[in-house]
Each structure stands twice: as C-alpha cells, then as structure tokens.
Amino acid sequence: MKTVLEPGRATASSPSPTGARYRVLAMLFVTVVINYLDRSNLSVAAPQLGRDLQLDPFQRGLLFSAFGWAYAAFQIPGGWLVDRVRPRFLFAGICGLWSLATLLQGFAGTFIFLFSLRWLVGMFEAPAYPICNRLVTTWFPEHERAGAIGTYTSGQFVGLAFLTPVLVLTQKHFGWQQVFVLTGAVGLVWAALWYGWYRDPAESRTVNPAEIQHIRAGGGLAEMGGEPRRSAAPFQWSDLGIVLSRRKLWGIYIGQSAVNSTLWFFLTWFPTYLVDYRHLNFIKAGFLASLPFLAAFCGILCSGFLSDYLVKRGFSATTARKVPVISGLLLCTSIVGANYVESPALIILFLTIAGFGNGFSSIAWVFVSLLAPRRLLGLTGGVFNFFGNLSSILVPLVIGLLVRGDNFAPGLFFVAALALAGALSYVFIVGRIERVE
C-alpha cells in the first residue's frame, strides 16, 4: 500500500532534500517573464502607436512613465501587503489584475485611456518583486540566494530577448493592439496556474524535512511562508522610520535607482531611439533590440553564480555581493559610446555592453535579504523597490525633455551619469554588509 505523506513529512527512503525550492524558483522565473513583457510591450508598440495617436516626444515620455508613477507610489503599501497576505493568493490576484489591464490597452483609442491603463498595470505589479524576494528568502539558504535571485530576475531579460521579436512580428501582421491582447491573455492564464500550483513550505507536499533543514541551516527563513498573516502586527509608522533612517539601506536604495535607470531606457525609449533617431527599419530594429536583453540575461546569470561562488570560497558577503553590482554599474556607463558612432553594428555593440552591465548589476535584491530587519523584510523590499523605480518615472520623462530634433545624445549621457552615481553609492554609502536590527 502506498504511503501518503503529510505536508512536510518524508520517509526514511528520502533523506535528501527534495529540491522543491527549485520548482518554486521556476515559477518565479515564469512570473517575471510575464511581468516584464507587460512592462515593455508599450515600447514595441510605441513607434506605430505614437503615430496613430499623434503623440509628440513629451507625450510619449508621459505615457512611458505612467507605469512608473503607480508602481513607485504603491511599493510601500505593496511591501506592507506582502508581509500579511499569503503569496499563493496575493501573486495570483495581482497577476490577474495587471494582465486584465494589459489586455484592455489593446482597445485604447485615446492618450488618457491608455495612460490610465498603464497606471493600473503599475499599481497591480507593485507587490510583485517584494513577493519574489520574500519567497527566495523563505525557500533558499543564504549561500544559494544570489544565484536564485539572478535566476528569477533573468526572466525579465529572457522574455525581452527572445519574445520581443515575437511582439514585433505580432504588430507587423496584426497591429499594435494585438501586442497588448496577446501579453494580457498569457498573464491571465498564468495567474490561474499560480493559484493552482503554489503552496508555502508548511503546506507543500513536495518538500521534506531534509530540505527544510537545509534551508534553515543556511540562514533561510522557511518558517515565514507558513506564518498566519491574520496575526501580523498592524502597520506602524515607526517601522517605516526604521527602514528610512539607516545609512546602509539608503545606499542600496540609491544604487537600485541607478540599476533601474539603464533598464528603463531599454524598456521605454530604446526601440524608438533605433527607429526614429537612428533610422533603422522597424523589423530590423526589433530584432537588434533583443541583443542587449540577451546580453543582460548572460550578465545576471554570471553575476548571481559568481557571487555565490565567492561566498563558498570564503570571501566576505561585502566583497562577494558588492563587486558584481559595482562592476555592472560601471559597465552601464559605456552606453555613451553610442553617441560617437554611426554604424548600426557599433551602436548595438555599445548598447549591448551596457545591457550586459545592467544584468550583471541586477542581483541587488540580495542586499534586501542580507540587510533588512527580519520582521520588516516585505516593507524594506517595498521601500527598496519604491526608490529603485523612481527611475521608471524620471528616466522616460527626462529623456523626453532632453531630446531635441534628431539629437538623442543628452539622453544617453543622462543614463550613464545615473549609473556612475549608483556605483559610487555602493562604494561609499553601503559599507560593510550586515543585517540592520
């Protein structure tokens, strides 16, 4: 007779960790792919959409920034929510809502309607990364965490690298409206699958005591996933004061804003830059636009596993975690090289180097796991993502104001300057890596 295991129980024949954490990581990876397609689909549609709706550069900048206004504004409430609602329900709910708002963009015929829907996408996506960070902290020991963060974060670049050409072809053959319908429909399906598949460690039938012990022995917080959120303490302004008053945390807030500044250039203005300012064919530009994202995918995997390797080799967390991020931010400044070349191949080369640097610096969420007060992990993640995503407002708008005629050079100088500021923040403000209590 086959023995049915209770959640968290294992037989003597299965003493080794089950590896359930890797299945959770695969689910996070898919979620991030969908998450970033719904952020970037506007950039693919923008050249044709802008002409159909007769938008000037400043209006395009406003439209690109609409997501960022809501996404940044709801980071702190979203982080607070992450500490109180189980990931199974919260992730399925927000994914379904942002996907519905994405799908409806395919029916938008005015600037105001489209702006409002982009705003809703930003609001519903706000808790997504704090949830991811909480789940990685729940399911992974510290010496595996940077690799795990690098793996799920790489989903943003995998989707952009390999699926951007699909969106370009969708627009060419079916119109820009179908770009939003397609990406929204995929997200609605995934929201239902997440709700059906995900369980916290205490409820999962695929995890055994050996894996729980492996997670806890390495500093993972496996018990967090099963905490009853209804018993969580109410919001206190003093908690917000803690995460806003620590120098180390301010260092990573500034650094994350810099990391996201380069990313948001690629998520918003990049295809328009290639088509309208470098005069590349739309289809060619769409395929070339995937190269920096492919480089970023390689960069983030290299960064995450290099960082974990350094930890295993005995390097301090300060060295192992900070060096990849600082190096990546410095590589991002190479974006200005595109101002001094005319060949499409060289333009893409400099942008691809910057893309690799952006990926290499994108494991910065590991600092939330390492520095945040244990009971304020979600709130710290929300504040971290709030400041990080101020760039989603600032970068599209400022670039829209800086570009004049055919001169896009000031926009690239602006992005490079922010990347340099982020590297300096990690060097001079973050200091030694140790948890804030």
Asked if CATH classification 3.40.1390.10 holds for the domain at 20-225+235-430, the reply, yes or no, is no
Residue 12 has what pLDDT? 44
Residues whose CB is less than 8 angstroms from the CB of residue 264 and which lie 6 or more positions away in sequence, other chains included: 68, 391, 392, 395, 396
Residue 223 has what pLDDT? 64
pLDDT band at 165 (very low <50, low <70, confident <90, very high): confident
Residue in 268, 334, 322, 269 with CA at minimum distance from that of residue 295: 334
- Model's pTM, two decimal places? 0.72
Residue 222 has what pLDDT? 59
Mean local confidence (pLDDT), 312-339:
91
Mean local confidence (pLDDT), 212-233:
62
Residue 235 has what pLDDT? 62
Q: Is the pLDDT of residue 234 over 70?
A: no
Task: Tokens 């693919």: give the residue.
Answer: 44
Residue 314 backbone zone (phi > 0: left; psi -120 to 50: alpha; other: beta): left
Angle at 306 between CA 303 and CA 308, to 5 degrees: 110
Q: Is the pLDDT of residue 229 over 70?
A: no
Q: Is the pLDDT of residue 228 over 60?
A: no
Mean local confidence (pLDDT), 110-136:
90
Mean local confidence (pLDDT), 186-198:
94
Q: How far apart are CA 239 and CA 178, in angstroms?
A: 44
Tokens matching residue 193: 């699958």
Task: Using a pLDDT cut of 90, give the percent of the chain over it.
Answer: 32
3-state secondary structure of 281: coil
Residue 181 has what pLDDT? 94
pLDDT tens-digit readout, 235-275: 677 888 888 888 899 999 999 999 999 998 998 889 889 88
> Residue ranges of the domains in the chain?
20-225+235-430
